[in-house]
């Protein structure tokens, strides 16, 4: 089936927006818990490779531009809002494409979750801290996880589409 096909088999844009909404709810719920129970910098040991921490990220992925003078808050907020608009347009056009739309819904939910943080707090709340042999991966949150899952699914969708086209 072509990416633009309208035959949804019962799955439409509202289904995907519902998934994105669930991601936003789960993301914001976990962040409220972290903000309520942890002070900035607090950490709880969970396993030899994972801690729960409270980190404030004023930048983007991997704290990109975190040390900028404050303009990055509005830049990344605007970027997230633009991305959300483009993704909603794409969902409307491609709702029948399950893997593609699943990926877009994940990215949409994650983007909105982080935009909410930037608007409410001026930073993104991160709390998942994975580490091994003294090396810490930058802390992240459920929104970041959803965006990463969505990006991986977009790559998989494209690989499968190219394979089907042969």
15-36 pLDDT, tens digit each? 999 999 999 999 999 999 999 9
- Coil vs helix vs strand at 57: strand
Q: What's the pTM value of the predicted model, to 2 decimals?
A: 0.86
Cα–Cα separations (whole angstroms), residue 39 to 81, 124, 162: 29, 14, 48
Angle at which helices 13-37 and 98-121 cross, to 10° = 40
* Domain range summary for the chain, segments of one domain joined by +: 13-165
Residues with a known catalytic role = 126, 144
34-85 pLDDT, tens digit each? 999 999 999 999 999 999 999 998 766 656 555 555 677 778 788 889 999 9
């Amino acid at each position: 089936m072509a990416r633009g096909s309208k035959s949804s088999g019962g799955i439409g844009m509202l289904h995907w927006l519902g998934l994105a909404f669930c991601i936003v709810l789960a993301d914001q719920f976990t962040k409220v818990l972290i903000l309520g129970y942890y002070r900035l910098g607090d950490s709880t040991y969970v396993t030899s490779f994972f801690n729960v921490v409270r980190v404030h990220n004023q930048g983007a992925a991997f704290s990109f531009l975190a040390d900028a003078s404050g303009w990055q808050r509005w830049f990344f907020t605007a970027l997230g809002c633009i991305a959300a608009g483009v993704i909603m347009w794409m969902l409307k056009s491609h709702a029948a494409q399950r893997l593609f739309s699943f990926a877009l819904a994940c990215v949409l939910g994650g983007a909105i979750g982080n935009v909410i943080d930037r608007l409410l707090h001026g930073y993104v709340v991160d709390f998942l801290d994975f580490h091994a042999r003294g090396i810490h991966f930058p802390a992240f949150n459920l929104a970041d996880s959803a965006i990463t899952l969505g990006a991986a699914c977009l790559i998989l969708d494209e690989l499968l589409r190219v394979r089907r086209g042969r």
